[in-house]
């Protein structure tokens, strides 16, 4: 009687936390958690794929390196806000103050509502490398849009070029202050109200004055954008557009 060849049993696949997600998204989710809890340098690609429940070779199918993984994650923190910013620049029916308020709220909600505080990785020395140029370019363009919108406000029209540059940096810095508010990867209990408060604070820095109309129009812009955009990766319309 011929003996059947024994079936070789490979290493079982570890079930990831979200087994319904695509492998690429599983890898990104695992990397986001490990980079923000253990640190970028201390996290190996083996640890990322183990966390995702995938073989290490699977990661290299989607990402050429750990650097590319980090760059992709960092770009997700900026790209949705920049997409809104470009749209806001063209929505001339709304007052500039309202468009600036809406941008600050969308941007703050993106940073406050994300599961992991990826913005804390902005200051990694690795991010200064050429491999991260595309991320730095996105962030610079977003910062420049803040400046353009501020320059169109009633207060901004009165600024000297130096004052405009400094004030827009302060507004942008206030929004990115959400990152500091989430130190130790803490979550924001109510991103809805929190992002609106950040937007109100940004308007005060911009010296808008009475911002009731800007806030009203800004909330409408947020709701409009979130209702029409299929690419926004943040929260739903109720969270970023409503009260």
> For 70-97, how does the pLDDT look when each residue is reduced to its tens digit (9 = 90+)?
999 999 999 999 999 999 999 888 999 9
Q: Give 12 or 93, the one with higher predicted confidence.
A: 93
> For 161-188, how does the pLDDT look when each residue is reduced to its tens digit (9 = 90+)?
999 999 999 999 999 999 999 987 788 8
- The three-state secondary structure class of 196 is helix
102: confidence class by pLDDT, cuts 50, 70, 90: very high
Q: Give 171 or 9, the one with higher predicted confidence.
A: 171
**Concatenated DSSP letters for 82-112?**
HHHHHHHHH-TTS-HHHHHHHHHHHHHHHHH
Asked if the model's pLDDT at residue 238 lies above 50, the reply is: no
19: confidence class by pLDDT, cuts 50, 70, 90: low
Q: For each of the domains in the chain, give its residue range(s) and CATH number, in order of start.
A: 23-63 (1.10.10.60), 74-241 (1.10.357)
Exposed/middle/buried for 45, CB within 10 Å: 0-12, 13-18, 19+? middle
Q: At what angle do helices 79-90 and 212-228 cross, to 10 degrees?
A: 120
Q: Which percentage of the chain shows pLDDT scores above 90? A: 73
Residue 13: left if φ>0, alpha if ψ -120 to 50, beta else—which one?
beta
Q: Give 145 or 92, the one with higher predicted confidence.
A: 145
User: For residues 63 and 181, what is the distance between their CA atoms, to the nearest angstrom?
Assistant: 31
215 half-sphere exposure, CB direction, 13 A CA radius? 18
62 half-sphere exposure, CB direction, 13 A CA radius? 19
**Which of 9-18, 59-68, 98-107, 134-143 has the weakest average pLDDT?**
9-18
5: confidence class by pLDDT, cuts 50, 70, 90: very low
At residue 218, the pLDDT reads 95
Per the prediction, the chain carries an average pLDDT of 86
Q: Which percentage of the chain shows pLDDT scores above 70? A: 86
Joined tokens for residue 96: 């500039």
């Amino acid at each position: 009687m011929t003996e059947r060849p024994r079936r070789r049993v490979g290493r079982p696949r570890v079930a990831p936390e979200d087994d319904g997600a695509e492998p690429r998204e599983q890898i990104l989710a695992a990397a986001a958690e490990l980079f923000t809890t253990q640190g970028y340098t201390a996290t190996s690609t083996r640890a990322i794929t183990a966390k995702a429940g995938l073989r290490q070779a699977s990661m290299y199918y989607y990402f050429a390196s750990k650097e590319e993984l980090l760059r992709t994650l960092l770009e997700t923190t900026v790209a949705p806000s920049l997409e809104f910013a470009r749209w806001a620049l063209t929505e001339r029916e709304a007052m500039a103050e309202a468009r600036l308020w809406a941008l600050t709220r969308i941007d703050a909600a993106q940073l406050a509502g994300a599961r992991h505080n990826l913005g804390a990785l902005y200051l990694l020395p690795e991010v200064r490398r050429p491999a991260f140029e595309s991320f730095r370019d996105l962030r610079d363009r977003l910062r420049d849009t803040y400046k353009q919108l501020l320059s169109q406000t009633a207060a901004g029209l009165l600024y000297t070029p130096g004052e405009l540059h400094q004030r827009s940096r302060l507004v942008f810095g206030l929004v990115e202050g959400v990152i500091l508010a989430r130190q130790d990867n803490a979550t924001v209990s109510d991103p809805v109200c929190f992002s609106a408060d950040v937007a109100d604070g940004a308007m005060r820095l911009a010296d808008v004055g009475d911002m009731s109309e800007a806030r009203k129009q800004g909330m409408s812009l947020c709701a409009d954008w979130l209702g029409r955009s299929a690419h926004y990766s943040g929260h739903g319309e109720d969270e970023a557009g409503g009260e």
